[in-house]
Amino acid sequence: MKRISTTFAVMAVIVLLFTACGPAATAVAPTAVPVKIGEVTDLGGVNDKSFNALAWKGVSDAIAQLGVDGVFLQSTQQSDYAKNIQQMLTSKEDLIVTVGFLLGVDTATAAKANPTQKFAIVDYTYPDCYPGAVEGKDCGSSTDLTNVRGLAFQTDQAAFLAGYLAAGMTKTGKVASFGGLQIPTVTIFMDGFEAGVKYYNQKHNTSVVALGWDSKAQTGVFVGNFTSTDDGKNTATSLAQEGADIIMPVAGAVGLGSAAYCQTAGTCLIIGVDTDWFVSSNEYASVELSSVQKKIDVAVLKTIQDVVNGKFTGGTVTYALADGGVDLAPFHNFDSQVPQTLKDELTQVRADINSGTVTVANVLAAP
């Protein structure tokens, strides 16, 4: 016994010594601010370098700029979604931000059970029921929910700029995009990209080809997952062999494999999606022309701002190029290579999109 207690004493001292020289960590310092924000992540966790991280960046920005209080709960299992939302309800957060479609049903269920609680769900909107689906089970809600704000993004607008840029930069006259799965959140990027290329062709009377997606026929190249970098490499290889020298992979981590291929082969450039890849995957900076950004952080920050200002509304709120919810990332290393005329044209296109004179649908519908 004596030895055991001695060991404890020694360990206690070690605890104290170690704690004296540890690195600073990123815990949230509680401050006495009335507005409380709680984020519930999906399985990716808060450091996923993607949606969850961006949403948390929005909360963090709000903490810095608006002085709100923010916490997050990470889900590690499917059963955590409902539980974590419940936990946020118990701790009486002013706004509960849930991330991603996996939380769609549980968010709606909790929102209906707690009609005075404000929610925001990232990249998801209500009503979400499809024919034959059972409300509260297969889908969250068949009607708009007034206490849930669905954050939607017009990524096609930014992808339009990317397509225009690609068409202006290509040397082979061929550009390409490909997807992870053929689902609306993916194909919307590819629609915009295709429209951008088409619009460039109209303006310049060129015939740049956009490979990998045909919005009319609704067919294109999809690798079937969002994780295999091998698939990304293989797809980029075949697209490059077909002559594409600028590729936009809309397939999460799969795209990193494509970037790796382009960096080795030297025959293609990459346009990233969701985040600015120059920041998030800087190892491929030498082939990253630009990125189509889905600025979830901006959307979350704006939503929190609305809560703070008492202007929170439910329903679907779409964030677009005009309000900075989506954007084309800076060119970074390629800034000097993009001709000033193209930059000026992009500024004009952006203005036209914002004013509504140019829309993706119209461009695609044009003969």
Partner 1 sequence: MENVSPPKPAVSENKQGGNSKEKKRNGSKLFQTLLVPVLALLTGFIIGAIVIALSNDAVIASYRNIFRDPGAALAATWSAISVAYGSLFYGSFGSVTEIFHSIQTYYSTGDSKAFLLAIYPFTESLTTVTPYILAGLAVAVGFKCGLFNIGAEGQFGIGALCSAYVGYAMHAPWYIHLPLALLAGAAGGALWGAIPGLLKGLTGAHEVVTTIMMNYVSFRLSDWLLNGPMKASGFRPLTPVIDNSAMLPQFFPDPLRLNWGFIIALAIAFLVYWFLFKTPIGFEIRAVGANPDGARYAGMNIVKNFVLAMTISGALAGLAGAVQVLGVDHWVGQGFSSGYGFDSIAIALLGQSHPLGVVLAALLWGTLRSGATNMQLNAGVPIEIISIIQGLVIVFVAAPAVIRWIYRIRAISTQTTVLTRGWGK
CA angle (304 as vertex; 302, 310 as ends), nearest 5: 105
Asked whether position 13 contacts partner 1 by CB under 8 A, the answer is no
Give 69: exposed, middle or buried? Use CB within 10 Å, 0-12, 13-18, 19+.
buried
Asked whether position 275 contacts partner 1 by CB under 8 A, the answer is no
CB of 131 to partner 1, least distance (A): 8
- Residue 82 or 338: the one with the smaller Cβ distance to partner 1 is 82
Asked whether position 146 contacts partner 1 by CB under 8 A, the answer is no
Q: Footprint of partner 1 on residues 163-182 (CB under 8 A)?
A: 181
- Residue 224 or 339: the one with the smaller Cβ distance to partner 1 is 224
Q: How many residues bind partner 1 (CB under 8 A)?
A: 57
Asked whether position 20 contacts partner 1 by CB under 8 A, the answer is yes
Q: Footprint of partner 1 on residues 311-340 (CB under 8 A)?
A: none
Convert residues 64-83 into a mask of x (bound to partner 1 by CB under 8 A) and - (unbound): -------xxxx-xxxxx-xx
CB of 162 to partner 1, least distance (A): 22
Asked whether position 217 contacts partner 1 by CB under 8 A, the answer is no
The residue from 33, 43, 265, 279 that contacts partner 1 (CB under 8 A) is: 43
Q: Footprint of partner 1 on residues 238-267 (CB under 8 A)?
A: none
Distance CA 77, CA 131 (A): 29
- Residue 14 or 366: the one with the smaller Cβ distance to partner 1 is 14
The residue from 21, 116, 171, 205 that contacts partner 1 (CB under 8 A) is: 21
Asked whether position 18 contacts partner 1 by CB under 8 A, the answer is yes
CB of 79 to partner 1, least distance (A): 5
The residue from 34, 115, 184, 356 that contacts partner 1 (CB under 8 A) is: 184
SS3 string, the chain, reads: CHHHHHHHHHHHHHHHHHHHCCCCCCCCCCCCCCCEEEEECCCCCCCCCCHHHHHHHHHHHHHHHHCCEEEEECCCCCCHHHHHHHHHHHCCCCEEEEECHHHHHHHHHHHHHCCCCEEEEECCCCCCCCCCCCECCCECCCCCCCCEEEEEECHHHHHHHHHHHHHHHCCCCEEEEEECCCCHHHHHHHHHHHHHHHHHHHHHCCCCEEECEECCCCEECECCCCCCHHHHHHHHHHHHHCCCCEEEEECCCHHHHHHHHHHHHCCCEEEEEECCHHHHCHHHHHHEEEEEEECHHHHHHHHHHHHHCCCCCCEEEEECCCCCCEEECCCHHHCCCCCHHHHHHHHHHHHHHHHCCCCHHHHHHCC
242 closest CA partner among 165, 192, 288, 178: 178
Convert residues 197-216 into a mask of x (bound to partner 1 by CB under 8 A) and - (unbound): --------------------
Asked whether position 3 contacts partner 1 by CB under 8 A, the answer is yes
Asked if residue 277 lies in contact with residue 249, where contact means CB atoms within 8 angstroms, the answer is: no
Asked if residue 32 lies in contact with residue 68, where contact means CB atoms within 8 angstroms, the answer is: no
- Residue 71 or 209: the one with the smaller Cβ distance to partner 1 is 71
- Residue 100 or 196: the one with the smaller Cβ distance to partner 1 is 100
CB of 87 to partner 1, least distance (A): 5
Q: Which stretch binds partner 1 (CB under 8 A): 11-19, 54-62, 266-274, 318-326?
A: 11-19
- Residue 112 or 203: the one with the smaller Cβ distance to partner 1 is 112
Binding site for partner 1 (CB under 8 A): 3-4, 7, 11, 14-16, 18-25, 27-30, 38, 43, 71-74, 76-80, 82-84, 86-88, 90-91, 101-102, 104-105, 113, 128, 130-134, 137-138, 181, 183-185, 224-225
